[in-house]
Amino acid sequence: DAGVTQSPTHLIKTRGQQVTLRCSPKSGHDTVSWYQQALGQGPQFIFQYYEEEERQRGNFPDRFSGHQFPNYSSELNVNALLLGDSALYLCASSRGPWGEAFFGQGTRLTVV
Amino acid sequence: KNEVEQSPQNLTAQEGEFITINCSYSVGISALHWLQQHPGGGIVSLFMLSSGKKKHGRLIATINIQEKHSSLHITASHPRDSAVYICAVSGGGGSQGNLIFGKGTKLSVKP
């Protein structure tokens, strides 16, 4: 079992560009949650996908959007990147929205 | 005030010492999670508990629902335990399954 895998591991983008991050959940998991972790801070909830729908959303602007595919994998898209979007983006999967969360290694996004 | 508060923020210990990290929360929860994060980012789930006590190797987690408090204990600490330990809660504040995180406790164990 590969666990939760995220790609890419590191990414550098320029202000104003768009980025797509990917997450494959642990085998048997159907729910994917995305978190943003700024340097020195705890992760902040972005949104959660279950049954291919955004089930819940945190306090993030509409520039942050996502998608879940029939195989339960998920993408996080960020448009019009700002310097402040530089962070570690973590994906967590679970069996159902209330299950124990298993995390990926994260994608380190740097916006210059 | 943050919904999840951890203490201490930083902790330095000598190898072999008994370590306690505390977590208090202010919302109703369905479960509390203790997580470990090493430099480089990846988070590992250590415990998920909703009552009582759980033990795994040298790690022990306890929770007191009435007092809204949890502790993570590490017995016979080792330099490889050096990491950031994060407390998170689920089911609170209308979160409906997503996690609300504390800011973490940075632990450094010296040989």
Residue of B nearest to A34 (CA): B98
Query: Given a cut of 60, is residue B96 above it in pLDDT?
Result: no
Of chain B, the percentage scoring pLDDT greater than 70 comes to: 94
A43/B99 CB distance under 8 A: yes
Out of B4, B42, B98, the one facing A56 most closely (by C-beta) is B98
Residue of A nearest to B50 (CA): A100
Confidence of residue B70 (pLDDT cuts 50, 70, 90): very high
A42/B96 CB distance under 8 A: no
B97/A58 CB distance under 8 A: no
Q: Specify the pLDDT at position B43.
A: 87
Residue corresponding to tokens 């430099």: B39
Question: Which chain B residues touch A56 with a CB distance below 8 Å?
Answer: 95-98
Residues composing chain A:
112
Query: Given a cut of 60, is residue B97 above it in pLDDT?
Result: no
CA proximity to B55, closest of B76, B30, B73: B73
Query: Given a cut of 90, is residue A41 above it in pLDDT?
Result: no
Query: Given a cut of 90, is residue A109 above it in pLDDT?
Result: yes
Q: Are strands A53-57 and A64-68 parallel, antiparallel or unpaired?
A: unpaired
Structure tokens given for B10: 């930083």
Query: Given a cut of 60, is residue A42 above it in pLDDT?
Result: yes
The chain-wide mean pLDDT, for chain A, equals: 94
DSSP string, A15-64: TT--EEEEEEPPTT--EEEEEEE-TTS--EEEEEEETTEEEEE-S--TTE
B99/A100 CB distance under 8 A: no
Q: Specify the pLDDT at position B94.
A: 47
Q: What is the mean pLDDT of residues B2-24?
A: 96
Alpha carbon of residue A92 to chain centroid? 8
**Is A58 an interface residue toward B (CB < 8 Å)?**
yes
A56/B96 CB distance under 8 A: yes
- Summarised one tens digit per residue, pLDDT across range A43-94 is 899 999 999 999 889 999 999 999 999 999 999 999 999 999 999 999 999 9
CA proximity to B65, closest of B91, B39, B103, B96: B91
